A and B are shown apart, each in its own frame.
Chain A
Amino acid sequence: MSHWPFIAGAYAVTLVATVGLVVASYAAMRRAEREAGTRRDSR
């Protein structure tokens, strides 16, 4: 049995989950900080 499909699967799962987590956290941070800044400006 070739091990490479399992290796590719493990790396794909890790990279997709990690990149997804980083991008989602970054987007949420930017959105929240922009909203906090906008509301301060409009006060």
Chain B
Amino acid sequence: MHAFANPARFLKLARPLTAWLGWGGGLLVALALLDGLVLAPRDYLQGESVRILYVHVPAAWLGMGGWAALAAASLMQLVWRHPLAAIAARAVAVPGAVFTAICLATGSLWGRPTWGTWWQWDGRMTSMLVLLFLYAGWIALAEAERERSGDGRLAAIFGLVGAVNLPVIHYSVLWWRSLHQGQSIGLTGTTIDPAMLWPLLGSALGFTLLFAAVVLMRMRALLARQKVEARLRRLAA
């Protein structure tokens, strides 16, 4: 990991990787969603609305995975002072917030025909909404720190503290009575039929590759802006 602490070395790897991840992710998402919409069977209980889960579940994983990555980058920033860690955290925040918002919107669109309601203040949905607010707070704090030429430590601490919400989201369906269904995919197996599992896994992998491509694009933009700002400071001195 420390080998890529050098921005020049990171950029040498990131430039070709951005295109591969972007195009690969886009293609995989298109194929998986086509499979999910056309070929996968309807669920015996949920009916056709099960097709919403091919976009909802990957969005939920990426919303939570985004904050896990943000917390990991914050830890690297605080403990090892990794030069790219703060940039990685800033690059992850917006895509993480977007996928959390997609998860909430698609969950609501799934809930109306399946449960008969757009929203319930139960543990899973409320903790996911809290995650969206945490992202918004983190983005505002990081931007304020940047404007005041801070080193991003406050945002890093917020990133670590906010990770407390991740196990709350994960275990909420076990800890509290919930409308939301429990876990269908675990480390040891799954209760999902293979005809529905493959489009779900394909979609999850495709969106993950796209997410990674977006993070690399945002890191490259932040590094380029940092370079320009450093040059302007040198000229002004």
Query: Using a CB–CB distance below 8 Å, which chain A residues touch chain B?
Result: 1, 3-4, 6-7, 9-11, 13-14, 17-18, 21-22, 25-26, 28-29, 31-33, 35-36, 39-40, 43
Asked whether, in the complex, the Cβ of A39 is within 8 Å of the Cβ of B231, the reply is: yes
Query: What's the Cα separation between A35 and B231 when bound, in Å?
Result: 12
From A11, A36, A39, contact of B55 by CB (8 A):
A11
Chain A nearest CB, measured from B66 CB (Å): 12
Further pairs besides A11-B52, A35-B224: 11, Cβ < 8 Å: A6-B112, A7-B51, A10-B55, A10-B56, A13-B102, A18-B98, A21-B214, A28-B218, A29-B220, A33-B220, A36-B225
Can you identify 28 A-B contacts, CB atoms within 8 angstroms? A3-B47, A3-B113, A6-B49, A6-B112, A7-B109, A9-B109, A10-B106, A11-B33, A11-B55, A13-B102, A13-B106, A14-B106, A17-B98, A18-B29, A18-B102, A18-B207, A21-B214, A22-B217, A25-B95, A25-B214, A29-B217, A29-B218, A29-B224, A32-B220, A32-B222, A36-B224, A39-B228, A39-B231
Query: Using a CB–CB distance below 8 Å, which chain B residues touch chain A?
Result: 22, 26, 29, 33, 37, 47-49, 51-52, 55-56, 59, 94-95, 98, 101-102, 105-106, 109-110, 112-113, 207, 210, 213-214, 217-218, 220-222, 224-225, 227-228, 231
* Inter-chain contacts of A36 with B (CB < 8 A): 224-225, 227-228
Chain A nearest CB, measured from B219 CB (Å): 9
Asked whether, in the complex, the Cβ of A22 is within 8 Å of the Cβ of B210, the reply is: yes
Q: Chain B CB within 10 Å — which of A25, A26, A32, A39 has the most?
A: A25
- Give chain B's interface secondary structure class: helix
* Inter-chain contacts of B113 with A (CB < 8 A): 1, 3, 6
- Give chain A's interface secondary structure class: helix
